[in-house]
Amino acid sequence: MRRLSRWAIRPPDVTALPPLPASPLRLRLDGDALAANWRALDTLSGAARAGAAVKADAYGLGAGQVVPVLAAAGCRDWFVAHWREVPDVIAHVPAAAIAVLHGPLTDADVAFAQATGVRPVLNSLAQARRWLAGGGGPCHVMVDTGISRLGLAMAELGDPLLGELDIDLCLSHLASADEDVPQNAQQLGRFATVRAAISARRYSLANSAGIALGADYHADLTRPGIALYGGVVRRELAGLVRRVAWPEAAVLQLRDLAAGDAVGYNATFVAQRAMRLAVVALGYADGYLRCWSNRGGFRHGPAHLPVVGRVSMDLTAIDVSAAPDLREGDWLTLDYDLPGAAAQSGLSQYELLTLLHRRFARNGV
């Protein structure tokens, strides 16, 4: 009879484990660039004040790292999508400054908001009734002016239930602010109707791209997101917004290839000459998708190092012939300037950031 390991009978005590080794992936964050981006967007917002969209763990960069930097820069208004995103933000800023965009779907959501002081964004008359039934108090209201996502319909603006709400912020969301299309002016006109119909202390329409559309779109509060993190979604932001995120991967192994050697799954790359290869601990499970196969690149000092072969779940191969001094354990920086990487990969700048998964250690802020 095979003797079972003691771990097969009783799991180990995780509290007794030694400290975890460092991750071979790290996401270096430039806090100075992050703060400078918020200040630039706040200035571009004119008479309005800029808040910050920190949903999706601050677009993948880590809310625990991002929020304190933005708060120190002067940000006072924060937007998350899910109630479960609140703890990472409320640890650093006042609860009443946090807005939950998805609103109270259940009575438990209302109870959480009442207990913490976090502000719900009410997106429907049903949510408004639920909020009032749970005690009410200051809240925000979203109105759909043309994106057909969350928000009250324009036809519901006259409902007397809205008059019972204590509305701090009335907001809407632009659908195509990154383009010069008639829809922008159409939504702006509808938002003027919203402002006339709904009494609120403040009003908000512009996202990152909306800020660049000009003062007519700024209202009282703007809500930048991707531009805070280095995304350039309109030409007016080029040169104003700095890169914030620098993904890096450690070299796990170096290999010497001969002409004719194949690399990776399905041999999509075959060496045409002798070359040196590095394998890094990065793959599509970390958000570095297969679209980067034989297309992406890294840098080591001045050397540009192309990805070769197919990106796999946890590993990517790189031609490092141009970096002869590279050693195992050295760090390589991913070519990940958001506008350029989006054009190269076909992914949006939003996807590029939010895809970066938890195996990246967050450093630098």
Q: How far is CA 225 from CA 70, 209, 272, 316, in A?
A: 12, 9, 44, 30
> 113: which 2 tokens?
């908001």
CA atoms of 94 and 165, how far apart (whole Å): 22
Structure-token pair, residue 155 = 């036809």
The one catalytic residue among 59, 203, 229, 265: 265
First to last CA, the chain: 55
55 is catalytic: yes
Count of residues for the chain?
A: 365
The string of DSSP letters for 193-250 reads: HHHHHS--SEEE---HHHHTT-GGGT-SEE---GGGGT---SGGGTTTSPP-EEEEEE
Report the 10 Å Cβ neighbour count for 181: 11
Let me know if 265 is a catalytic residue: yes
Judge contact between 319 and 275, C-beta under 8 A.
yes
Give the residue numbers marked as catalytic. 55, 265
